[in-house]
Structure 1
């Protein structure tokens, strides 16, 4: 039996704690497709609330998945740009999509 306190299990748990939060996947996917501004990201994840979007963007920056860049303007513009770590989620999200396609019975 595998030790749930092993480094491997702890690492998986930490990743899922961040990427498994509500709307994290769809928001990262929108950003991977090129959305950088708040409105673009929101449009890329229809149905997400402003509160959840703002929270996830803050978390993405806190965890090093994205950088918040402010162009002083005028007008002031804020962009959220994925870091290398954020861009690396493309592989993870792609694998999750492939898993879902192969095993729809698990997702009922």
Structure 2
């Protein structure tokens, strides 16, 4: 007998944040706006195509915004929206937890 119902919003949130790179991209953007190449250089082993796909998904979800500056050459920056900044305490707690409990080189 199942006496536990999963909240659909919680399930959607976990699904979104558990997509490879999404939480890490949000974490990288907490300090402020970054350009595509800056985000890419912060996250090793992340291909440009996957980063582009994740940024689009996160923009569609309202977590980040993409701002185009009409300069030559064109400058594009990505930053967290209010919805994205609301993740900062959660990601900070994951960071604290990982410092306390995760050993490098140990696979989970």
Unmatched runs of 5 consecutive residues or more in structure 1: none
* Kept after mapping to 1: 8 A contact 2:32/2:80: no
Unmatched runs of 5 consecutive residues or more in structure 2: none
Query: Which residue of the partner structure matches residue 78 of structure 1?
Result: 76
Report which of the two has the higher share of helix: 1
Query: Which residue of the partner structure matches residue 34 of structure 1?
Result: 32
Aligned CA-pair RMSD: 2.0
Kindly report which structure 2 residues correspond to 1:1-108, keeping only aligned pairs within 5 A, or say none. 1-4=3-6, 9-101=7-99, 104=102, 108=108
User: Relative contact order (C-alpha < 8 Å, sep 6+): which is higher?
Assistant: 2
Deviation at 1:35, TM superposition (A): 4.7
Deviation at 1:99, TM superposition (A): 3.9
* Kept after mapping to 1: 8 A contact 2:62/2:81: yes
Q: Distance in 2 between matches of 1:44 and 1:34?
A: 13
Q: Number of aligned residue pairs: give it.
A: 103
Deviation at 1:103, TM superposition (A): 5.4
TM-score normalised to the size of structure 1? 0.82
TM-score normalised to the size of structure 2? 0.82
